[in-house]
Structure 1
């Protein structure tokens, strides 16, 4: 578990500083609006290279050095950050890492330290460990975006499908074991694709050799001759199989074309007969007598129009038939081309197999020996590669099976049921209406308007954090909440009491608020922030904080 111990902020430019002890399980930063509470919380994450929203220009212009002491499972560490440079030390002040690269070196170190093994695809379709923002995403409720929707605390959550991936990972639905197996499988897949590419090049080389000296098949090595002949025969059989398949498809096309031709002919005959009937109807009077039985039949204009309507339908059927015949003719031509190409390849292989050695010149023998030697080397290499591809595929299957085990249906149901129970419980406690007939989503929740919305956010986050505390395989981080009094809550004392009392077991909670709402020194460490509005850093603390940071500054360069 990660816990923050002490935060120091130092501006050499302004010769001002700030220091804050965070040893308590619950810390309340108490100050009015504009006294720097949010700047303190954002600094906690800036120290790790994460990007909270809205860091104002005045703060940036102060060129603040951020020094944060923290513990991971009781082991002491410190991190110093300034202008994109980061250094991490152990509890004795020994340098562990120094880097300017957040996306590679820093995140790689933090991922190992905090057992964070999530992997995602970037825009270049590369598998990466996502930036530090993804480590802290469920633990920080900022005042700029989080009170409107979950998973919006950081600017750096830019990878595709981030919300779902974060919910799956931090809840334990897809734990470290899943991503470790996925990482190993991705490495194996990359290796296999490289081997398959090499095999393709070698196979193409053999093909080119046959085409360039197709008449030379002489070999003084009976094993080489037999091996090459067998390969040619195998290839010939495959080509024959393809040819049979193409001919079968061509036969199916021909049969379908015959049916459409019959339909077209029937339609044409029907149209011809209908034209004759219509012309005859025009010449007849309005009432026609049957010469056989004497029955009278009407020959009204409406009946004549019915004949025309039937004729329109037949024309549509004729057009469809013609279009289908055209389409089938194109498909047949395509299959004929495939058959011709295959016949050429088969003829070439048969020609190679049928050449008589008595017809070869001495020069042919020399050429053949060179080609055979090269072919032997290439075929041996292809055999080795085939064995490695087979072994790699088997290893991939093992890792895929491990991924399935890590996300078993039984465990998935258990985690979702746990989250659902906590969410319904917390919504009831905070008077948040929620449809209990539906299974809630772990990525977002539709909550009511006004003051009910922020209470719903708190209920959702705490339900998720309890789930993460119970099931997640990575380090649990401090819960940091900025400005919980949103939308004019009717009973903020109840909300604050919930935040303090319902926190996950053993977790650290840091809350920045303008009012205490009933929280006192008995259940939290209350720290009053700032002596002057818009001026968090204090010149009186400059020397004291400088003495703390100075031993580490030399390692920053």
Structure 2
């Protein structure tokens, strides 16, 4: 992309990443925050579309089928990671394990004009929600800890969790058997009649408590139902207004009238492009209102459903206890039940249970041992040495090609991001990224990710070094990689496609609105229809 300042290079590039769930560092001057972005991308040869407006995103297949529509960043992040097979696990700020999303996926492959040309990793500001994410991200893509490592680690963690549960159950059974042996030895069963009377008294008190809880929950249910009905009515009214606005907007776009006549007073008004945009904005606000109201309705509906379930559980408990009380007030005694069973039967049952638990525990221990061996193989010293060697040699070669002095790379780590002042700083950063890319696309890498550079003209690159940087990007980056480069002036270097931007603050052109709207509008309609449908289901 070629264009001088304010022609929209960074706006276009940032919109690509924002649409895919990774909002970059840097604000966009005079960029409409309500702008719609539609991005076509492919995964393993299969095409998809991502649509984004504000916090709303939707994912579509190549034939336009909506796979997901959501306003939740976490839901989008999980869906995007699942789609591309990105299984990296990072640590959250509260020490919890968190699945990485698009920000982590694109971090090593995007040089952002506003956050990537210096010593710190500031490409995506919200990446800070993770604790120390850079090293595991770089190790993942370069192959130090590849996707297979995290897949195997997840299987090991599942096996370990199952093992802990089995061991807890084993401990509990042993404890119960021991207590049972003390209370009811093999010489025969024993009961205490006084305990039976105490049980009857306790159950009577429980029924009284349940009655009180039932009354309280019924009052809550009535209040929740009133709020739910009110929200549903508001949703219905907002959707009716939206249908009216959609009709008006369609009329403005399609009917060939130079003037519009008010049906009430007969006054005539000019139809301007701005009118169309205003109607589009009104419709967007109404859509957002419907989604919010339905989301609120969904929350209240869930509370109402929880209250109903609690009432149902109380009713069931009340009935069960009442039945037990009725039986216990009859002639049946605990002694009759206990004396009909021998203690030998109970101890045999304990032994059978413990034998089965031991077999399952042994099976899990064996599986964990296999997983541990695989993890050790995936992180072997030789593998790490090979990867680090490729990274160091690639960095040294890139520095020479970018007209930088030779440095000692023996102690260079994947996270050794250059901190160099002056015009050499940006070239050192480009050399560093180039080394990461060469390693990630090498023998141990698992992903081929687009490489985005915006823009090499940093910190006073002169007429010698700026062409060197552009030449390096054009000729020396990994073969078969997709490269997106933003520069201020035309270059003699060859690129497959050139987007020439010439008008300041006119990336989106009025004359192209109709044709672009024809492409984008069906996706927008599907996204909001899906969001409406999803929030309605929540409301139920």
The answer, yes or no, to whether TM exceeds 0.5 is: yes
User: In the aligned structure 2, how far is the partner of 1:62 from the partner of 1:77?
Assistant: 24
Query: Is residue 398 from structure 1 mapped to residue 335 from structure 2 by the alignment?
Result: no
User: In the aligned structure 2, how far is the partner of 1:469 from the partner of 1:380?
Assistant: 55
Equivalence map 1:151-550=2 (5 Å): 151-158=121-128, 161-212=132-183, 371-436=343-408, 438-487=410-459, 491-516=465-490, 519=492, 525-528=498-501, 530=507
User: In the aligned structure 1, how far is the partner of 2:95 from the partner of 2:361?
Assistant: 23
Query: Is residue 136 from structure 1 mapped to residue 109 from structure 2 by the alignment?
Result: no
Query: Is residue 35 from structure 1 mapped to residue 7 from structure 2 by the alignment?
Result: yes
Query: What TM-score do the two structures reach when normalised by structure 2?
Result: 0.60
Query: What TM-score do the two structures reach when normalised by structure 1?
Result: 0.58
Q: CA 1:524 to 1:150, structure 2 compared with 1: closer, same or farther past 3 Å?
A: farther
Bigger radius of gyration = 1
Contact 1:192/1:393 (8 A) holds in 2: yes
Q: 1:431-461: CA deviations, max 9, x gaps?
A: 2235326231111234432111111000010
Q: CA 1:489 to 1:441, structure 2 compared with 1: closer, same or farther past 3 Å?
A: farther
Task: Report the alpha carbon displacement of residue 485 of structure 1 after superposing the two structures with TM.
Answer: 1.2
Aligned residue pairs, count: 358
The range that moved more, 188-197 or 472-481, is 472-481
Q: 1:210-249: CA deviations, max 9, x gaps?
A: 454579799xxxxxxxxxxxxxxxxxxxxxxxxxxxxxxx
Gapped regions of structure 1 (runs ≥ 5): 1-28, 219-362, 537-557
Cα RMSD, aligned residues only? 3.2
SS at match of 2:485: strand
- Report the counterpart of residue 223 of structure 1 in structure 2: none
User: In the aligned structure 1, how far is the partner of 2:168 from the partner of 2:31?
Assistant: 50
User: In the aligned structure 2, how far is the partner of 1:128 from the partner of 1:471?
Assistant: 28
Task: Report the alpha carbon displacement of residue 476 of structure 1 after superposing the two structures with TM.
Answer: 1.4
SS at match of 1:63: coil
Contact 1:114/1:475 (8 A) holds in 2: no
Contact 1:77/1:90 (8 A) holds in 2: yes
Q: 1:318-360: CA deviations, max 9, x gaps?
A: xxxxxxxxxxxxxxxxxxxxxxxxxxxxxxxxxxxxxxxxxxx
Q: CA 1:474 to 1:437, structure 2 compared with 1: closer, same or farther past 3 Å?
A: closer
Equivalence map 1:62-141=2 (5 Å): 62-102=33-73, 105-141=75-111
User: In the aligned structure 2, how far is the partner of 1:390 from the partner of 1:69?
Assistant: 50
Task: Report the alpha carbon displacement of residue 142 of structure 1 after superposing the two structures with TM.
Answer: 0.7
- Report the counterpart of residue 25 of structure 2 in structure 1: 53
Contact 1:422/1:463 (8 A) holds in 2: yes
User: In the aligned structure 2, how far is the partner of 1:107 from the partner of 1:531?
Assistant: 28
Q: 1:103-161: CA deviations, max 9, x gaps?
A: x5433433343232222333455443212111111111112221113643112323653
RCO comparison, higher one (Cα < 8 Å, 6+) = 1
User: In the aligned structure 1, how far is the partner of 2:419 from the partner of 2:379?
Assistant: 29
User: In the aligned structure 1, how far is the partner of 2:436 from the partner of 2:82?
Assistant: 23
Contact 1:68/1:80 (8 A) holds in 2: yes
Contact 1:415/1:467 (8 A) holds in 2: yes
Task: Report the alpha carbon displacement of residue 369 of structure 1 after superposing the two structures with TM.
Answer: 5.2
Contact 2:41/2:48 (8 A) holds in 1: yes
Contact 1:30/1:514 (8 A) holds in 2: yes
User: In the aligned structure 1, how far is the partner of 2:357 from the partner of 2:19?
Assistant: 48
User: In the aligned structure 2, how far is the partner of 1:434 from the partner of 1:204?
Assistant: 69
User: In the aligned structure 2, how far is the partner of 1:531 from the partner of 1:201?
Assistant: 68
SS at match of 1:471: coil
Contact 1:50/1:154 (8 A) holds in 2: yes
Contact 2:2/2:489 (8 A) holds in 1: yes
Query: Is residue 146 from structure 1 mapped to residue 116 from structure 2 by the alignment?
Result: yes
User: In the aligned structure 1, how far is the partner of 2:394 from the partner of 2:72?
Assistant: 39
Contact 2:450/2:483 (8 A) holds in 1: yes
User: In the aligned structure 2, how far is the partner of 1:384 from the partner of 1:99?
Assistant: 45
User: In the aligned structure 2, how far is the partner of 1:384 from the partner of 1:371?
Assistant: 21
Gapped regions of structure 2 (runs ≥ 5): 191-334, 514-540
Q: 1:345-404: CA deviations, max 9, x gaps?
A: xxxxxxxxxxxxxxxxxx8x9679565544433442232222111111111111111112
The range that moved more, 390-399 or 107-116, is 107-116
Contact 2:387/2:444 (8 A) holds in 1: no
- Report the counterpart of residue 270 of structure 1 in structure 2: none
Q: CA 1:522 to 1:196, structure 2 compared with 1: closer, same or farther past 3 Å?
A: closer
SS at match of 1:89: strand
Task: Report the alpha carbon displacement of residue 472 of structure 1 after superposing the two structures with TM.
Answer: 4.9
Task: Report the alpha carbon displacement of residue 414 of structure 1 after superposing the two structures with TM.
Answer: 1.8
